[in-house]
Structure 1
Amino acid sequence: MTPEFVVNIGRQAIETTLMCAAPMLIAALSIGLVISIFQAATQINEQTMTFIPKIVGVFVTLLIFAPWILQKASAFLISIFNHLPNITP
C-alpha cells in the first residue's frame, strides 16, 4: 500500500462526503438567505423564524436527493471493497 493509494482513498472519501452533503447545505443556505432578505426588508428580527423553514427545506431536499446520495455512497463503498484485494500489509 503506497502513500499515493492512501491519499487517493482519502481524497475520494472527502469528495464523496462533500457531494452527499452538498444538496442539503445548498438548500439551507438558500433558504437562510431568502429569510434574511425578508427579515431585512420588513425589519423583523425574530431569530427563531429561520429554523422551521430550514428544517423543512433540508428534509424535503433529503427526500428528493436520497436515491442519488445512496447511489454515490454505495459506489464509493463498492470501490473500497474492490480495492481490498490489492491492499498488502
Structure 2
Amino acid sequence: MEADRALNFMNDMLWSSLIVAGPVLLATLAVGLVISVFQVATQLQEITLSYVPKILVVALLLIALGPWMMERITEFARSIYLLIPTLAA
C-alpha cells in the first residue's frame, strides 16, 4: 500500500468519526456548560447534578441520530471493503 493511499484512508476515517461523534459531543458540551452556569449562579455545588441531564441528552441524541450514524459508518465500511481488491495490485 502506498503512503498517500494509507494517509487518505486515515483522513477519511478521522473525518467520518468526527462527523458521527460531533453532534453528541457538542450537545454534551453545551449541556455541561449550561448546568455549570446554573450551578455557579445558584451556588449549588452538587457534583452529580450535571450527570443526569448529560446522560438524557446523549440517550435522546443516540435514539434520534442513531440510524443516520449507522448509515454513515456502514457507508464508510462498505467503501473500505470495496477498495480491498484494488490494494493487491
**Aligned equivalents of 2:59, 2:24: Cα separation in 1:** 8
Give, in angstroms, the shift of residue 53 of structure 1.
0.6
Task: List per-residue Cα deviations over 1:6-33 (Å, max 9, x = no partner).
Answer: 0000111111111111111011101101
Tell me: higher relative CO, structure 1 or 2? Use CA pairs within 8 A at least 6 residues apart: 1
Task: Find the residue that maps to 1:56 and give its secondary structure.
Answer: helix
* Map of 2:57 onto structure 1: 57
Percent identity, aligned pairs only, is 35
Q: TM-score, structure 2 length as denominator?
A: 0.94
User: AA paired with 2:65?
Assistant: F
* Map of 2:2 onto structure 1: 2
Task: Find the residue that maps to 2:44 and give its secondary structure.
Answer: coil
5+ residue gaps, structure 2, are: none
Q: Give the root-mean-square deviation of aligned CA atoms.
A: 1.1
Q: TM-score, structure 1 length as denominator?
A: 0.94
5+ residue gaps, structure 1, are: none
Number of aligned positions between the proteins: 89
